[in-house]
Amino acid sequence: MTTESPHRFLRACHRLPVDQTPVWLMRQAGRYLPEYMKIRQKAGDFLSLCKNPELATEVTLQPVCRFDLDAAILFSDILVVPEAMGMNLHFSVGEGPILEPVLRHPADLDRLRRVDPEDQLGYVMQAVDSIRNGLDDKIPLIGFSGSPWTLATYMVEGGSSKTFSYIKGMMFDQPQLLQQLLDKLSDVVADYLNAQIAHGVQAVQIFDTWGGVLGPREFGEFSLRSMQNIIQKLHRVGPKGHPVPVILFAKGCGSHLELMAASGCDVVGLDWTTDLGLARERVGGRVALQGNLDPAVLYASPERIRQEVRQLLHAYGPYPGHIFNLGHGMAQDMDPERVVDLVSAVREESRLLFGGQVGSNG
Ligand code: CP3
C-alpha cells in the first residue's frame, strides 16, 4: 500500500524526494499584512477573530493567496487551550496576553477542567473544516498546539515573562505540582490535536517556544517528557488513511537536537542559532528538519535575502527532508514584498541545488 502524498511539504516531512524545497513561514498570517488588519478590525479584536471560523478561515488563506507557499497553518493561538480549561484570557494591545487567575497552589489546579475539544474548542474545529474546504487540497493544512511547558509558563506567570520567576520557583520547590499541571496539559493537548486531525489537518506542530529557558536536565524532565507523552497519544493517520506528520519546534533548543529527534516526532523545527548542515549530520536520516533562517534577514535587501537563502539550502545540501522556514515567526514591522523575494529565492535556488537529480513530484 502506498500512502505517498503528492504535496511537497508532506513529502519532505516524510523525507521523500521533492522537486524543490517546500516553504512556509511561522506566523505567516498576521499584523504585517494590511489585509489581516482589516479583518481583525472587522472582528473587533484578536481573540474574537480566533473565535470566528469564517474570519479565521479568511486570515489563514490570506498569506496563501498572496505568496506561493507550500502549506497553510490554522489561524488561532496556543492560549485558547488554557482558556478552554477555565482560565480568563485577554490580549491587551501592546502588552501581550493576560491569563488569570494565575496558578500557583495545588487548589488552583483543581479548578482546571478537562476539555472536550468539540465543545469548548468547537470554533477551532469549525475553522479547520472551513479552511480545508477553502484550500481544496491544493496545499496541506498544519494544525498546532503549544507544548505543555510553554502553556504552563503563561498559566503560572499570568502572561509573558522575561524571568520565569514563578514557574521556575515551582519547578525547583514543587516539582510534583508542576508535573501534575504538565500531565493535565498533556492530556488536553493530545485530545485537542487528535480532534484537529479528525477534522482534517494534515500535519501538526507543537510549539515549545520557551523550552530554551531550561537547562538540559530540566528540558528533558519538564518539557520533552510531556511532548513525548503527547506524541505517543496522537492518532497519526488522518480520516482518509494518510499519515499525519508531527513537527516539534522548540526555540533555543538546538543543543537538545538528538533528544528531540528521538522523541517520536517526524520533523524537528530549528531556530536560527543552530547550523543547519551540522544539524543534518547530527540527526541524519532519523527526522526531517524545518527552518531556520533568521527572521531578521527579511529586513535586508532582496539580493541579501537570496544570498542567505542559497547559503541555507546549500548548508542542508541536496538531500530529502528539508522544509524551509524562518527560525521563528514573522514580525509586525516586516514588508510583505520581502516575503515574495524570499519565496521565489527558495523556489529558484532549490531547483538549481537539486539540478534534476532528485525525483520530481509533479
Ligand atoms: O503562524 C500563524 O500564522 C498561525 C497563527 C499563530 C498565532 N499565534 C497568531 C497570533 C500561531 C501559530 C500562534 C502561536 C503562539 N501564540 C505562540 C507560539 C509560537 C511563537 O510565536 O513562539 C505563542 C508563544 C503565542 C502566544 C501569543 N499570542 C503571544 C505572546 C502573543 C502576543 C505577542 C505579539 O506578537 O503581540 C500572541 C498574539 C498573536 N497570536 C497575534 C497573532 C497574529 C497578534 C495578535 C494581534 O493581531 O494583535
The predicted pLDDT at position 305 comes to 98
pLDDT bin (cut points 50, 70, 90) of residue 269 is very high
Q: Which atom of ligand 1 is nearest to the CA of 79?
A: 26
pLDDT at residue 16, rounded to an integer: 96
Q: Whose CA is closest to atom 1 on ligand 1?
A: 27
In tens, the pLDDT along 52-69 reads 999 999 999 999 999 999
Share of the chain above pLDDT 70, in %: 97
Indicate whether 108 belongs to any domain.
Answer: yes
Taking the CA of residue 40 as reference, the ligand 1 atom at the shortest distance is 47
Average pLDDT over every residue of 198-227? 98
Q: Give the Å distance between the CA of 157 and the centre of ligand 1.
A: 17
Closest ligand 1 atom number to CA of residue 63? 3
Q: How confident is the model at residue 356 (pLDDT cuts 50, 70, 90)?
A: low
pLDDT at 239 over 80: yes
Number of domains composing the chain = 1
Q: In the structure, what pLDDT confidence band is assigned to residue 112 with cuts at 50, 70 and 90?
A: very high
CATH of the domain at 49: 3.20.20.210
Please provide the average confidence, as pLDDT, over all residues in the chain.
Answer: 96
Gyration radius from the chain CA atoms: 20
At 182, list the grid cell.
504538565
Q: Give 209's DSSP letter.
A: T
Give the C-alpha separation, 326 to 332, whole Å: 14
The rounded Å distance from CA 317 to ligand 1 centre is 31
Domain presence at residue 3: no
Catalytically annotated residue among 19, 77, 108, 116: 77
Residue 237 pLDDT > 90: yes
For residue 234, what is its C-alpha cell? 496522537
Average the pLDDT over 304-331 and give the result: 97
Instruction: Indicate if the pLDDT at residue 350 is higher than 80.
Output: yes
Residue 360 counted as domain residue:
no
Query: For residues 292 and 332, is the Cβ–Cβ distance under 8 A?
Result: no
Scanning the structure block, which residue is given the C-alpha cell 541524519? 284
Question: Would you say residue 2 lies in a domain?
Answer: no
Determine, yes or no, domain membership for 362: no
What's the pLDDT score for residue 285? 85
Specify whether 40 is catalytic.
yes
Q: Cα of 187 to ligand 1 centre, how many Å?
A: 22
Least confident of 61-65, 74-78, 91-95, 287-291: 91-95
Ligand 1 pocket: which of 27, 52, 227, 253 to mutate (most atoms within 8 A of CB)? 27
Q: Show the domain range for 157.
A: 8-354
pLDDT of residue 3: 62
Which pLDDT does position 7 carry in this prediction? 97
Give the pocket of ligand 1 (CB within 6 Å): 26-31, 40, 46, 73, 75, 77-79, 91, 96-97, 144, 146, 160, 207, 209, 329
* Mutate which of 77, 271, 290, 292 for ligand 1 pocket (most atoms within 8 A of beta carbon): 77
- Three-state secondary structure string covering 256-274: HHHHHHCCCCCEEECCCCC
**Which residue, 257, 276, 282, 278, is CA-closest to 268?**
257
Domain-located, residue 252: yes
**In the predicted structure, residue 360 carries a pLDDT above the cut 70:** no
Q: How far apart are CA 73 and CA 91, in angstroms?
A: 21
Rounded to an integer, the average pLDDT of 169-180 is 98
* CA separation for the pair 160, 99 (Å, rounded): 9
Q: Would you say residue 295 has pLDDT above 60?
A: yes
**Is pLDDT above 70 for 1?**
no
Å from CA of 119 to ligand 1 middle: 23
Active-site residue, 31 included: yes
* CA geometry: angle 88, 94, 97, nearest 5 deg: 20
Residue 352 CB burial class (10 angstroms; 0-12, 13-18, ≥19): middle
**Annotation marks residue 154 as catalytic:** yes
- Asked if pLDDT for residue 359 goes beyond 80, the answer is no
Ligand 1: residue whose CA is nearest its atom 24 = 209
For residue 242, report the distance from its CA to the centre of ligand 1, in Å. Answer: 29
> Which residue carries 482589516 as its cell?
38
Q: Is residue 59 situated within a structural domain? A: yes
- pLDDT at position 362 is 34
Q: Please list the residues that pair with 144 across neighbouring strands.
A: 205
Tell how far the Cα of 106 is from the centroid of ligand 1, in angstroms. Answer: 29
Q: Which of 190-204, 315-329, 330-344, 345-359 has the lowest mean pLDDT?
A: 345-359
Q: Is 359 part of a structural domain of the chain? A: no
Q: Is the pLDDT of residue 330 over 90?
A: yes
Residue 37 CA: nearest ligand 1 atom is 47
Q: Which protein residue's CA is at the shortest distance from atom 23 of ligand 1?
A: 78
pTM: 0.96
DSSP secondary structure letter of residue 221: I
Burial of 225 (0-12, 13-18, 19+ CB in 10 A): middle
Would you say residue 263 has pLDDT above 70?
A: yes
Q: By alpha-carbon position, which residue is closest to atom 39 of ligand 1?
A: 77
Shortest-distance atom of ligand 1 to CA 332: 35
